[in-house]
Amino acid sequence: AQKITQTQPGMFVQEKEAVTLDCTYDTSDQSYGLFWYKQPSSGEMIFLIYQGSYDEQNATEGRYSLNFQKARKSANLVISASQLGDSAMYFCAMREPNAGKSTFGDGTTLTVKP
């Protein structure tokens, strides 16, 4: 069974600074995808970034980058130059190919201070 662990229930960061949100995963599958989503208070789950298990390069999307360390089974999200609008809950998730199920972590609440 797949498992995602996010050990930081809450994080604070100063505006314009970088922050790393931790995620470790456990799976016996060779092929899988790792995702990060942002969920503001409105509830919508916003896709941020994706990393495939066979991708050798770390994924980047604008201010978001995913620090993928396969041997350690970690997929940390790095947000550079934090903005006030980044304050939200962040979820790490894993998905297998051809499987509609994603397994989510418990989430990390990020608060950006002005």
Q: How many residues are present in the chain?
A: 114
Positions 17 through 46 that interact with other proteins (CB under 8 A): 32-33, 35, 37, 42-46
Question: Which position among 19, 59, 79, 107 is part of the footprint of other proteins (CB under 8 A)?
Answer: 107
Q: Tell me the Ramachandran region of residue 43: left when phi exceeds 0, alpha when psi lies from -120 to 50, beta otherwise.
A: left
Q: Which is nearer to other proteins, 33 or 73 (CB)?
A: 33
Sketch the per residue contact string, 80 through 99, with other proteins: x for CB under 8 A, - otherwise. -----------x---x-xxx
Q: Which is nearer to other proteins, 59 or 112 (CB)?
A: 59
Residue whose C-alpha is closest to residue 5's, from 102, 109, 114, 107:
107
- Measured from the CB of residue 99, what is the shortest distance to other proteins in angstroms? 6
Applying CB under 8 A, the residues found at the interface with other proteins are 32-33, 35, 37, 42-47, 50, 52, 91, 95, 97-104, 106-107
